[in-house]
C-alpha cells in the first residue's frame, strides 16, 4: 500500500526526545523550545518565533493580537481549513470569503480588493500547498488601508516568496507542525511575530495571560494576570522531536522536491493531452513540495479515479469542502461576489501521496496508475 501521508521522521528524534526527558524539564520554554525558536528565526528572518500547541492555536493567538471583535470584518479564502476561520469567528469577527485564482487555489488579491469595506481589519492569505499568495499585492492593500495581514502559512514552512520566508511576509505568520505537514512534532505549530509591537503581548497571551516570561527574565519581581490569554506553550518533548527536523530541513525539503518534480515531469503528457491539470508555480514562488495535487475534469471523474487508485493500493485524498457552503461558514460569514472558482475547482482536486521518505519506485507506481486510468 502507498499511503497518502507518513509522519515525518528524520532519524535522531529519539535521541533528542530522550534528552528532553532526562533534562527533567518537559513543560514549555526549556532548552529545546529555545533552540526551535532560534532555528525558526534563523530560517525565516522573523523578529520572534514562538512555538504553539498547534497551527490552530497560532492562528487563535494571532486573532487575539489583532484585537478583532464584533463589527470587524476579516477577509479570507473559503478554500481553506476550518482553523483559518475559527480563530477569527471565536473573537466575534465577521468572516468575508473571497474567491481564489484557479491556477494556484490561492486567494485572489483582486477579489480581496473588491471585498474590502470600512470594517475590514485583517486579511488572512493562506499559502495553499506551500505556494505563496501574491504577497506584494496583499501587503500593499493592507498598508494603504491600515489593515493587518495574518498569513496562514501552515503548509508553507520552508517555502519562500521572492526570497523571503512564508510566514515572515505579513504582520504575523502561523505555522503548523501537525503530522500531516512537512515538519512535525505530532501536534504543534508556531507564530512568527514579524512586527516588534506584537512580541511582548504574544508572550503574555500564550502564558495564560500572565507576564511570566518577563518574570523569568527578571524584568518583574512577581507575575500576575495582565491580559487575555490561553495555554499555548508547547511541551519540551514535542519541541525536541521538531528540533531534529528543523535542523535537517534542507534535506527533508529536497527529498519532497525530488518526488514533486517526478510527479510534475511524469504527468506533463497527460496535461498536454488535456486529460488533467497540474499545479502552477508563479514567478517568485519557491515552494516546499508540501503537496502534489492534480485536477480531474469534474467530481465524477475524481470519484472514479480515487476508487481506481485505491484498487491499486494507492491512497489519494481530496479537500476542502468550501467553508462558505458549510454549516458554520454560513453562520459566521458570507461569500463576497461570485463563487467562480472556489467550488468548481475544489471539486476537481485530488492530492497524491507525498511524504518525506516516499520512494522513487512508489512515485513511479502512482504515475503508472494515473496513465492506466487515462488510457
Ligand atoms: C494544518 C492546517 C491548519 C491547522 O494546523 P493544526 O496544527 O492542525 O492545528 C490550519 N490551516 C491550514 C491551511 C492547514 O493546512
Domain boundaries, the chain: 13-248, 250-374
pLDDT bucket at 334, cuts 50 / 70 / 90: very high
Distance 85 CA to ligand 1 centre (A): 11
| Nearest C-alpha neighbor of 155 from the set 288, 281, 51 | 288
Best of 155, 167, 317 for a ligand 1 pocket test (most atoms within 8 Å of beta carbon): 155
CATH architecture of 13-248: 3-Layer(aba) Sandwich (3.40)
Q: Which pLDDT score, from 0 to 100, does residue 50 have?
A: 98
pLDDT bucket at 348, cuts 50 / 70 / 90: very high
Cβ distance 35 to 190 under 8 Å?
no
**pLDDT tens, position by position, 76-109:** 999 999 999 999 999 999 999 999 999 999 999 9
**pLDDT tens, position by position, 211-223:** 998 988 899 999 9
Cα 375 to Cα 371: distance, rounded to the nearest angstrom: 6
Cβ distance 109 to 139 under 8 Å?
no
- Ligand 1, CB cutoff 6 Å, lining residues: 54-56, 80-81, 83-84, 126, 152, 154-155, 176, 178, 189
* Contacts of residue 240, Cβ cutoff 8 Å, sequence gap at least 6: 13, 16, 17, 19, 20, 32
Q: Which pLDDT score, from 0 to 100, does residue 322 have?
A: 98
Q: Which pLDDT score, from 0 to 100, does residue 272 have?
A: 98
Distance 59 CA to ligand 1 centre (A): 9
**pTM of the complete model:** 0.98
pLDDT bucket at 128, cuts 50 / 70 / 90: very high
Q: Mean pLDDT across the stretch 23-50? A: 97
**pLDDT tens, position by position, 259-298:** 999 999 999 999 999 999 999 999 999 999 999 999 999 9
The residues with which 317 forms a beta bridge, in sequence order, are 351
pLDDT bucket at 140, cuts 50 / 70 / 90: very high
What is the residue-averaged pLDDT of the chain? 97
Q: What is the CATH number of domain 250-374?
A: 3.90.1150.10
Q: Which pLDDT score, from 0 to 100, does residue 204 have?
A: 96
Q: Which pLDDT score, from 0 to 100, does residue 339 have?
A: 98
**pLDDT tens, position by position, 149-196:** 999 999 999 999 999 999 999 999 999 999 999 999 999 999 999 999
Amino acid at each position: 500500500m502507498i499511503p497518502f501521508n507518513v509522519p515525518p521522521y528524520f532519524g535522531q528524534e529519539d535521541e533528542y526526545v530522550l534528552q528532553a526527558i532526562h533534562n527533567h524539564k518537559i513543560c514549555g520554554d526549556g532548552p529545546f523550545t529555545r533552540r526551535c525558536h532560534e532555528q525558526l528565526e534563523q530560517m525565516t528572518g522573523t523578529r520572534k518565533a514562538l512555538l504553539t500547541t498547534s497551527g490552530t492555536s497560532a492562528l487563535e493567538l494571532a486573532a487575539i493580537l489583532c484585537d478583532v471583535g464584533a463589527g470587524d470584518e476579516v477577509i479570507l479564502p473559503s478554500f481553506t481549513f476550518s482553523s483559518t476561520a475559527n480563530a477569527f469567528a471565536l473573537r466575534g469577527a465577521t468572516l468575508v470569503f473571497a474567491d481564489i485564482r484557479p491556477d494556484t487555489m490561492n486567494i485572489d488579491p483582486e477579489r480581496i480588493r473588491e471585498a474590502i469595506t470600512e470594517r475590514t481589519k485583517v486579511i488572512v492569505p493562506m499559502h495553499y500547498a506551500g505556494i505563496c499568495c501574491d504577497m506584494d499585492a496583499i501587503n500593499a492593500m493592507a498598508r494603504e488601508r491600515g489593515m493587518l495581514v495574518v498569513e496562514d502559512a501552515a503548509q508553507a514552512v520552508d517555502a519562500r516568496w521572492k526570497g523571503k520566508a512564508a510566514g515572515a511576509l505579513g504582520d504575523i505568520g502561523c505555522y503548523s507542525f501537525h503530522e500531516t505537514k512537512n515538519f512535525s512534532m505530532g501536534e504543534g505549530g508556531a507564530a512568527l511575530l514579524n512586527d516588534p509591537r506584537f512580541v511582548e503581548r504574544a508572550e503574555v497571551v500564550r502564558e495564560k495571560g500572565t507576564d511570566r516570561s518577563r518574570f523569568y527574565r527578571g524584568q518583574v519581581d512577581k507575575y500576575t494576570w495582565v491580559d487575555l490569554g490561553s495555554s499555548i506553550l508547547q511541551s519540551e518533548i514535542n519541541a525536541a522531536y521538531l528540533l531534529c527536523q528543523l535542523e535537517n530541513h534542507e534535506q527533508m525539503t529536497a527529498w519532497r522536491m525530488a518526488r514533486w518534480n517526478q510527479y510534475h515531469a511524469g504527468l506533463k503528457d497527460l496535461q498536454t493531452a488535456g486529460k488533467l491539470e497540474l499545479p502552477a508555480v508563479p514567478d517568485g514562488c519557491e515552494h516546499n513540495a508540501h503537496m502534489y495535487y492534480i485536477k480531474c475534469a469534474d467530481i465524477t471523474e475524481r470519484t472514479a479515479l480515487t476508487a481506481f487508485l485505491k484498487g491499486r493500493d494507492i491512497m489519494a485524498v481530496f479537500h476542502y469542502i468550501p467553508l462558505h457552503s458549510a454549516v458554520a461558514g454560513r453562520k459566521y460569514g458570507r461569500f463576497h461576489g461570485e463563487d467562480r472558482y472556489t467550488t468548481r475547482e475544489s471539486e476537481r482536486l485530488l492530492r497524491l501521496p507525498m511524504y518525506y521518505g516516499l520512494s522513487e519506485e512508489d512515485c513511479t507506481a502512482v504515475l503508472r496508475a494515473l496513465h492506466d486510468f487515462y488510457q
